Structure 1
Amino acid sequence: MRIFLTSIQIRSTMNPMLSRVFWLLQTFLVINTTYSQSNLEETLARANKQFDLNAFNLALRTYEQVLKEQPTNTQALVRSGDCYFYLNRPQEALSWYERALQSNPAPSEVMFRYGRALMHTGDYVGAKKWFVAYTAVNNTIGQHYAQMCDFALQMSRREGIYRALNEPINTASADFAPAFYGDQLVYSSSRSDLKRRTNAKSSSDWTGSAYNQLFVTRRGPDGYLQNPTFLRDDLQNTFNDGPVSFSANKRRVAFCRNSFMDGTRQMPEKGMSLSLHIADAVEGKWVNERAFPYNGSDYATGFPHLSPDGNTLYFASDRPGGIGGWDLYVSTWNGSSWSTPKNLGAPINTPGNEITPFVDGDVLYFASDWHPGLGGFDIFRTELVDFGTPQVTHLGTGINSSRDDYGFVFDAQSGIGYLTSNRSGGRGHEDIWQVRKQVDEFAIETVDEQQRPVPFAEIDFSACSAAAGIRQTDATGRYTFQTPAGRANCQVTVRKEGYRPALLPIRTGGDKTLKAVLIAESSAARAASSPFSSGGQAPVAYSRTDDDIPVQMGAIERFTITVTDPSGRPVPGAEVNLTACELGIQRTDENGRAAFYYPAGSECNLVIRKDGHEDAFIALHQQAGRDLAVRLKTSSRVLYSGIVRDGNTNRPIADAQITARSRSDNHETLALSDANGRYTLQLKPNQDYDIFFEKDGYQKGSVAVFTVAPDDNLSYALSPARPATYSVTQPSSSPGMISIEDLGTAPSATPSKQKKSASPPAAKGEAFAIQLAANPEDFSASKLRRYSEFTSLGNLYTVREGNLYKLRLGAYTTREQADAVLVQISPSVKDAFVVRETQVNPEALVTEPPLSSSLAVKSPTAYSTTSSTLTPQKYAVQVASSAVDKPLRLNDYTRLSSIGNTYIRTENNFMHVRLGPWDTPTQAEAARTEAARLGFPGAVVVVEKAENPSSTLASAAPATTPNTYSTSSVTAPG
Structure 2
Amino acid sequence: MKNLYIVLSFFAISSSIIAQNQDTKVADKLFSRYEYISAVKEYQKLVDSGKADGYVFKQMADAYYNMFNTAESIKWYAKAIATKQDAETYYRYAQMLKSNGKYEESNKQMTKFAALAPNDVRAKSFKENPNYVPKLVQGVTYSVAPVKISSDKSDFGAVLYDKTLYFTSARSGSKKTYGWTGEPFLDIYTSIMADSGTFSEPVPLESINHKRHDGPVTISADGNTMYFSSDSFREGLYEKDKQNHLKLGRNNLYVATKSGETWSNIKPLPFNSKDYSLSNPSLSRDGKTLYFSSNMPGSVGGVDIWKVSVNGGNFGKPENLGTKVNTEGNESFPFIADDNTTLYFASTGKPGFGGLDIFQINLAKGTEAVNMEKPINTEKDDFDFTFNKAKNIGFLSSNRNGNDDLFLATPLCAVDLLVVVTNAKTGAVLDNAKVAILDAKNNVIATQYSNSNGEVNFKIECDTPYSIQASKDGFEGNVFSVEKSKGPTAKLPAPLQPIDVIITPTEIVLQPIYFEFDKSNITQQGAFELDKLVQVMKNNDKLVIFAKSHTDSRGSDTYNLSLSDRRAQATVQYVISKGIPAERISGKGFGESEPKVQCDPCTEEQYAQNRRSEFLIVK
The alignment status of 1:232 with 2:211, answered yes or no, reads no
Change (3 A) 1:172 1:461: farther
Structure 1: which 5+ runs fail to align? Answer: 1-154, 194-198, 260-270, 518-579, 591-607, 614-634, 643-657, 661-668, 679-684, 686-708, 717-974
* Aligned 1:629-648 pairs, distance under 5 A: 640-641=521-522
Give the distance between the partners of 2:449 and 2:391, measured in 1 at CA: 27
The superposition leaves residues 220-260 of structure 1 with CA deviations (integer Å, 9 ceiling, x where unpaired) of: 35534332222335x9655421111011211111111159x
Give the distance between the partners of 2:533 and 2:275, measured in 1 at CA: 66
- 1:409, CA displacement in angstroms? 0.9
The answer to whether the Cα contact below 8 Å between 2:157 and 2:168 also exists between their aligned partners in 1 is: yes
- 1:277, CA displacement in angstroms? 1.6
Change (3 A) 1:222 1:320: same
Change (3 A) 1:481 1:281: farther
- 1:586, CA displacement in angstroms? 5.2
Which of 238, 255, 259 is equivalent to 1:282? 259
The answer to whether the Cα contact below 8 Å between 1:204 and 1:210 also exists between their aligned partners in 2 is: yes
The answer to whether the Cα contact below 8 Å between 2:420 and 2:455 also exists between their aligned partners in 1 is: yes
Give the distance between the partners of 1:504 and 1:342, measured in 2 at CA: 54
The alignment status of 1:443 with 2:357, answered yes or no, reads no
Give the distance between the partners of 1:343 and 1:366, measured in 2 at CA: 14
Change (3 A) 1:222 1:301: same
- 1:185, CA displacement in angstroms? 1.0
Structure 2: which 5+ runs fail to align? Answer: 1-132, 233-247, 505-509, 536-551, 553-565, 575-619
The superposition leaves residues 623-671 of structure 1 with CA deviations (integer Å, 9 ceiling, x where unpaired) of: xxxxxxxxxxxx86966328xxxxxxxxxxxxxxx8x9xxxxxxxx998
The answer to whether the Cα contact below 8 Å between 2:513 and 2:529 also exists between their aligned partners in 1 is: no
Give the distance between the partners of 1:672 and 1:208, measured in 2 at CA: 69
Opposite residue 584 of structure 1, the aligned amino acid is P
Give the distance between the partners of 1:340 and 1:477, measured in 2 at CA: 49
Give the distance between the partners of 1:351 and 1:435, measured in 2 at CA: 29
Equivalent residue number for residue 409 of structure 1: 386
Give the distance between the partners of 1:356 and 1:222, measured in 2 at CA: 28
* Aligned 1:82-101 pairs, distance under 5 A: none
- 1:440, CA displacement in angstroms? 3.0
The alignment status of 1:509 with 2:484, answered yes or no, reads yes
The answer to whether the Cα contact below 8 Å between 1:281 and 1:287 also exists between their aligned partners in 2 is: yes
- 1:338, CA displacement in angstroms? 1.1
Give the distance between the partners of 1:414 and 1:172, measured in 2 at CA: 27
Equivalent residue number for residue 245 of structure 1: 218
- 1:188, CA displacement in angstroms? 0.9
SS at match of 1:581: strand
- 1:210, CA displacement in angstroms? 3.3
Change (3 A) 1:334 1:637: farther
Opposite residue 444 of structure 1, the aligned amino acid is L
Give the distance between the partners of 2:454 and 2:308, measured in 1 at CA: 36
SS at match of 2:168: strand
The answer to whether the Cα contact below 8 Å between 2:437 and 2:447 also exists between their aligned partners in 1 is: no
Which of 370, 381, 389 is equivalent to 1:393? 370
The answer to whether the Cα contact below 8 Å between 2:330 and 2:349 also exists between their aligned partners in 1 is: yes
The answer to whether the Cα contact below 8 Å between 2:346 and 2:384 also exists between their aligned partners in 1 is: yes
- 1:587, CA displacement in angstroms? 5.1
- 1:209, CA displacement in angstroms? 2.3
* Aligned 1:733-752 pairs, distance under 5 A: none
The superposition leaves residues 93-147 of structure 1 with CA deviations (integer Å, 9 ceiling, x where unpaired) of: xxxxxxxxxxxxxxxxxxxxxxxxxxxxxxxxxxxxxxxxxxxxxxxxxxxxxxx
Equivalent residue number for residue 382 of structure 1: 361
Change (3 A) 1:306 1:510: closer
The answer to whether the Cα contact below 8 Å between 1:252 and 1:310 also exists between their aligned partners in 2 is: no
The answer to whether the Cα contact below 8 Å between 1:416 and 1:434 also exists between their aligned partners in 2 is: yes
- 1:431, CA displacement in angstroms? 0.1
Give the distance between the partners of 2:315 and 2:179, measured in 1 at CA: 40
Change (3 A) 1:203 1:507: same
The answer to whether the Cα contact below 8 Å between 1:258 and 1:273 also exists between their aligned partners in 2 is: yes
Give the distance between the partners of 1:670 and 1:165, measured in 2 at CA: 44
- 1:433, CA displacement in angstroms? 0.7
Give the distance between the partners of 1:671 and 1:442, measured in 2 at CA: 26
- 1:202, CA displacement in angstroms? 2.7
- 1:514, CA displacement in angstroms? 4.2
Change (3 A) 1:308 1:712: farther
Change (3 A) 1:395 1:338: same
- Structure number with greater CO (CA < 8 Å, separation at least 6) is 2
Equivalent residue number for residue 582 of structure 1: 496
SS at match of 1:640: coil
Equivalent residue number for residue 173 of structure 1: 153
The answer to whether the Cα contact below 8 Å between 1:439 and 1:482 also exists between their aligned partners in 2 is: no
- 1:469, CA displacement in angstroms? 7.7
The alignment status of 1:311 with 2:288, answered yes or no, reads yes
- 1:317, CA displacement in angstroms? 1.7
Q: How many residues align?
A: 379
Q: TM-score, normalised by structure 2?
A: 0.50
Equivalent residue number for residue 322 of structure 1: 299
Question: Matched residues, percent identical?
Answer: 26
Equivalent residue number for residue 556 of structure 1: none
Give the distance between the partners of 1:640 and 1:336, measured in 2 at CA: 75
The answer to whether the Cα contact below 8 Å between 1:493 and 1:502 also exists between their aligned partners in 2 is: yes
Give the distance between the partners of 1:675 and 1:258, measured in 2 at CA: 74
* Aligned 1:213-612 pairs, distance under 5 A: 213-220=187-194, 222-233=196-207, 239-257=212-230, 273-360=250-337, 361=339, 362-385=341-364, 389-424=366-401, 429-444=403-418, 482-483=459-460, 489=466, 491=468, 507=482, 509=484, 513-515=489-491, 580-585=494-499, 609-612=511-514
The superposition leaves residues 334-355 of structure 1 with CA deviations (integer Å, 9 ceiling, x where unpaired) of: 3352111222223222222221
Change (3 A) 1:226 1:370: same
- 1:382, CA displacement in angstroms? 1.9
- 1:417, CA displacement in angstroms? 0.9
* Aligned 1:543-942 pairs, distance under 5 A: 580-585=494-499, 609-612=511-514, 640-641=521-522, 713=570
- 1:712, CA displacement in angstroms? 6.6
The answer to whether the Cα contact below 8 Å between 2:476 and 2:532 also exists between their aligned partners in 1 is: no
Which of 143, 157, 162 is equivalent to 2:142? 162
The answer to whether the Cα contact below 8 Å between 2:421 and 2:433 also exists between their aligned partners in 1 is: no
The answer to whether the Cα contact below 8 Å between 1:446 and 1:454 also exists between their aligned partners in 2 is: no
Equivalent residue number for residue 44 of structure 2: none
Equivalent residue number for residue 702 of structure 1: none
- 1:298, CA displacement in angstroms? 2.5
Change (3 A) 1:502 1:672: closer
Change (3 A) 1:204 1:411: closer
The superposition leaves residues 749-808 of structure 1 with CA deviations (integer Å, 9 ceiling, x where unpaired) of: xxxxxxxxxxxxxxxxxxxxxxxxxxxxxxxxxxxxxxxxxxxxxxxxxxxxxxxxxxxx
The answer to whether the Cα contact below 8 Å between 1:180 and 1:245 also exists between their aligned partners in 2 is: no
- 1:211, CA displacement in angstroms? 0.8
* Aligned 1:24-63 pairs, distance under 5 A: none
The answer to whether the Cα contact below 8 Å between 1:494 and 1:516 also exists between their aligned partners in 2 is: no
